[in-house]
Structure 1
Amino acid sequence: MRKEIQEYIQSSPDLIKFMREQPQWYRKLARNPNDTKALNVAMMNHYQKTIPHKVAQFSNSIQMASMMLGMFQSMKQQD
């Protein structure tokens, strides 16, 4: 594997962890060193760091907070 690819991987702890979990990327990058964008996209999808994933997580948090607020309001009305 090329030195600049190794340095690119070493620059991010998430990439290091992803490469250890998905060793097939070592072969892919050895064969095609220009595939760093695909590596980054695969890593972001794997760790759910893309914008759609973050929006879904935020939406789930809002729904949970709304449900908790509804529960507290119904408990308050019962007293």
Structure 2
Amino acid sequence: MRREVIHVMETNPELKRFCRQHPIWYRRLSRDPQQLAELQKEANYFFGRTFGQRVDRVQKNLGMVMMLIEMLRATRG
């Protein structure tokens, strides 16, 4: 693996952890270091950092808050 790729992996521990959980990426990066951007996209998806995943998480939290508010209203009324 090239030194630039190793440096990126060392400076970003989550990428390193993703690669350890998915060892096929070691081979892919050794053969084609240009796939580093693809690795970062896949890692973001794996760790739930895409825009869609964040929106879903916010919606779930809002739904939970609304349910708690309704429960409080029902117990008071």
User: Is TM > 0.5 for Structure 1 vs Structure 2?
Assistant: yes
Aligned to 2:34: 34
SS of structure 2 residue aligned to 1:49: coil
RMSD: 0.6
- The whole-number CA distance in structure 1 between the counterparts of 2:75 and 2:14 is 44
Q: Which structure 1 residue ranges, 4+ long, deviate > 2 Å from structure 2?
A: none
* Residues 8-47 of structure 1: per-residue CA shift (max 9 Å, x gap): 1111121011011111000000010010110000000111
- The whole-number CA distance in structure 2 between the counterparts of 1:51 and 1:27 is 28
- The whole-number CA distance in structure 2 between the counterparts of 1:55 and 1:3 is 36
Aligned length: 77
TM-score (norm 2): 0.96
The answer as to 2:63 corresponding to 1:76 is no
- The whole-number CA distance in structure 1 between the counterparts of 2:76 and 2:39 is 51
The answer as to 2:63 corresponding to 1:54 is no
- The whole-number CA distance in structure 2 between the counterparts of 1:36 and 1:16 is 12
Task: State the identity as a percent.
Answer: 26
Unaligned stretches of 5+ residues in structure 1 = none
The structure that is helix-richer by fraction is 2
Unaligned stretches of 5+ residues in structure 2 = none
Aligned to 1:9: 9
- The whole-number CA distance in structure 2 between the counterparts of 1:17 and 1:10 is 10
